[in-house]
Structure formats: C-alpha cells, structure tokens
Amino acid sequence: MTDTSIDMPGHQEVDATFRKVAWRLVPILMLAYVLAFIDRGNVGFAKLQFMGDLRFSEATYGLGGGLFYLGYSVFEVPSNLWLARIGARTTLLRIMVCWGLCSAALAFMTAPSHYYILRFMLGAAEAGLFPGVLFYLTTWIPPSRRSQFTALFMSAIAISGIVSGPLSGAILGGADGLLGLKGWQWLFIIEGLPSALTGIVVYFVLADSPQTAKWLSAREVAIITAELQSEANAGQRQRQHNFGAALRDRRLYILCGMSVGLIAGGAGIPLWLPTILRGTGIHEPLALGLFSAIPYIVAVAAQQLIARSSDRLGERRWHAAVPTLLCAIGWLLLPQAMGHPWMAISLLTVMTVGYLGATGPFWTMPSLYLSGSAAAGGIAMITTCGGIGAFFAPTLVGWMTTVTGSLTYGLYVYGAVMAFGAVVMLVGTSSTGSVSATAQVHEGNLRQAAKQRADA
C-alpha cells in the first residue's frame, strides 16, 4: 500500500503533478471522445447521400438519429455502475470496440429497420463513456481543478466537429464509387473502424487509479491523494455516497432537468448542421464540410475560457446557464437566417459556443453533491435523462419536417428545450433553494483553493 503521508508540497510541485496527470490522461481520453462524436454525428453528413439512395424520409432519419440516445440511455446507468467495479480500462476497451464495429456496420444498411437497429446498438455500445470519464476524473482531480480538466476533455466535441466536417465531406466526394461502394458507405467504414483499434490502445495507456499508475512516483501519488482529501471538507458530509440515497435527493433531479436541455439541444447541432448549411445554398460536399468546421473552431477556444473563468471564480451555476441560454437564442433565431449562408454560420457559431461553453461548468456540478457509487450512478442518471430528451427531440423534429416540409418548427423545438433546461437549473438552484446552501459551501471552497493557487 502506498504511503500517502508526505511533507507539505509547494504549489509549484502540486501544479506540476497535475500537469503530468493531464498530459498522461487527457490526450487519450480526448481522442476516445473525438472518435465517439465523429461516429455518432457522421450520420448528419452521410444523410446527404443515403436519404436518396435508400429512399428514407426525414421522419425516418430523425427517429434513427434519436434511437442512438435511447440505446445510450437504457444502458447508461448499468455501464457506469459496472465501471466503478471493474475499472476504466476494461470498460473503455469494451465500449470502444463495440461502438466502432456498430458504426462501421451502418455502411451495409439497406432498410429503415437496419438503420434503427444499428443506431440503437451504437448508442448502447457507447453508453457509459461520457459519465464514466467524468467519474474517472473524480478519482484523479480535486474539485477546484476539475472544471478545466472537464472542459479540456469535452473540447473533444469541438475538435470532432473541426475534423469530422472536412473529413466527411472529402470522403463523400472522393470515395463515391470506389470498389463499388457509395461515398456514405465509405464514410461509416473509414470513421468507424479506428474507434475499435483505439480502444485497445486506451486499455494499455490508462491506469484505473493513481495508486496503480506505474508512471507516477510514490510522492506524486501521495500529493494527488492529499489534494483529493484536502477538498473533502465540511461539504463532504452533505454529499450522498449511496446511489439509493441520491435518488431521494431533489438536487439530482434539478441537474437532470438541465441535462435534458443541454444534451438534447446540443445533440441537434451535428445532426442537422449539414442539412441547415445545405438549405442556405451550399451543396458541394467538401465545402459543406469546411464550413461546418467554423463553429467548432471558435467554440474550442471559448469553451476553455469559460471553464477557466468558472474555476477562477469558483462559480458553476451562471457559467452553465448563460451559455445554454445563448445557444437557445441561436436556435430560435436560426430560421430567419435560412438563405443567408454567413448569417446562418454566425448563428451556428454562437450556438456551438454556448453549448460547449456550458459543458465544463455544468458537468462539474454533480460531483459537488455526489461521491462514491452515488457519483457513478448519479452522473449516469443525469446523462440518461439528457439522452431521453435527445431521443425525443430529433424524432419530433424529423416528424415535423416531414409533415410541414420545413425544418423551421424543429429549430424552435430545440431552442425551447434548451431554454427550459437553463431555467430549471437557475430556479432550482436559486438563492432560496435547498441546493444553494450546499453549493455555496463547495463553491466557497473552490474559490479559496483558486485564490491559494493565484497567490502562490
């Protein structure tokens, strides 16, 4: 057993230890999440070809797009609770190999039923990745540093958008007809199989905990352990450690309400972005891919700035709500920009900045109230609720588009859902709410830790 008693380390030594952790963990976790978002969102680009080839309706596309999140939601909590037992390495190996194969298999669908089944299986395979990584980070990173780590990991969403658009556009335009396969078929194969191979790499690179990491010295393990323990303060007594007890906690359901808006509204961006851009008059596949990368390029920088501000000020609530409302406004204004490419791209950029900017602060909040198995199950439940919202939203939007012949009303749906989530969180965590008292204790400690680092 590692001896965690050490001489008091200086701030520079502590910072250096966590930088080492960041360089070891974050790149491989980011790569996994980049591939996950490419494989869940590339259907938005493949849609531009397979809708005509397979004679699918917009309602069929929307239902299949949403079924990913239904499969994700059904298996989210069991996957994350199992991770707490068997560790991150084995869990991520299983997740990545399965989803990579499911994504590649979409290349061979010929009927709506194939599309539905494979999208559901893709979601079921990926279930547990995101909440599992959030839970994994709680075993390595203290709360005062976690928003930046979380935002850095979640910048993978923006990076996937930067990479996926040009790559998908190039495959659609350049590989069409190669070896008798359509461009959309090559898209699923080329973007799906690397995920399965990366899962094997992840298994050998990660360590399940600081205590099992061979690349850390005994002193570095002790520093990490001491930092985690030092922030297990008075607020720790108010945190739930048991998942059953967490289910009786009102705070969990407030975060679930925010998750519905954030995940459902954010998931709509990659699903419909290529369709929206094509509706403005951009038709060439590579041009669509290049233009689709612009919102993500801006968002990747904004996301880190918002997370740093959240950690510096020790504040989560407004740093999550304001960007979410900004994204909601973008959705509501977007119908007015159809036919105007640069206006649409500008609004899509605002929306993407808002969505991704909210992710770091918001996904740090569950660990303020939950720990142990409650954190594993609670985070999974929050993402499950968001996944259910992300199932119904595109299903409804696809149906409305088929019935009305226009995407306009669907865009309003996404805006309303995101605004709902932000309002629920703001009202539920108001200064008079029961959540606030606990949050203020934790955020006070976050501010104190941030101030100590600034003074060093």
Which pLDDT score is estimated for 8? 67
Q: Which of 102, 413, 403 is nearest to 271 (CA)?
A: 413
The average confidence (pLDDT) of the chain is 85
Task: List pLDDT tens digits, range 303-327.
Answer: 889 988 988 888 888 999 999 999 9
Q: What's the predicted TM-score (pTM) here?
A: 0.78
Confirm if 79 and 128 have CB atoms less than 8 A apart.
yes
Residue 323 corresponds to which tokens in the numbers above?
């960007």
Could you give the CA distance from residue 450 to residue 313 in angstroms, rounded to a whole number? 8
Could you give the CA distance from residue 176 to residue 183 in angstroms, rounded to a whole number? 4
Task: List pLDDT tens digits, range 194-227.
Answer: 999 999 999 999 998 899 999 999 999 999 988 8
pLDDT band, residue 373 (cuts 50/70/90)? low
Residue % of the chain over a pLDDT of 70:
87
Q: What would the mean pLDDT of 411-420 be, rounded to a whole number?
A: 95
Which pLDDT score is estimated for 315? 86
The pair phi, psi for residue 370, each rounded to 5°, is -130, 150
Q: What would the mean pLDDT of 406-435 be, rounded to a whole number?
A: 82
Max CA-CA distance within the chain? Answer: 69
Which pLDDT score is estimated for 218? 92
Which pLDDT score is estimated for 452? 52
The residues facing 370 across adjacent strands are 240
- Dihedral angle computed from the Cα positions of residues 289, 301, 391 and 372, in that order, rounded to the nearest 10 degrees: 140
Residue % of the chain over a pLDDT of 90:
54
Q: What would the mean pLDDT of 396-417 be, rounded to a whole number?
A: 94
Task: List pLDDT tens digits, range 245-263.
Answer: 667 777 788 899 999 999 9
pLDDT higher than 50, residue 437: no
pLDDT higher than 80, residue 302: yes
The lowest-confidence range among 290-304, 355-369, 423-437 is 423-437
pLDDT higher than 60, residue 442: no
Task: List pLDDT tens digits, range 145-193.
Answer: 876 777 778 888 889 999 999 999 999 988 999 999 999 999 999 999 9
In terms of DSSP H, where are the helices of 43-175?
43-54, 58-86, 88-105, 112-126, 129-138, 143-174
Could you give the CA distance from residue 436 to residue 252 in angstroms, rounded to a whole number? 13
Which pLDDT score is estimated for 238? 47
The pair phi, psi for residue 367, each rounded to 5°, is -75, -10
Task: List pLDDT tens digits, range 60-88.
Answer: 999 999 999 999 888 877 887 787 788 88
Dihedral of alpha carbons 324, 329, 330, 335, sign: positive
Query: Where do the structural domains in the chain lie, given as residue ranges?
Result: 11-455
CATH fold, domain 11-455, is Growth Hormone; Chain: A; (1.20.1250)
pLDDT band, residue 96 (cuts 50/70/90)? very high
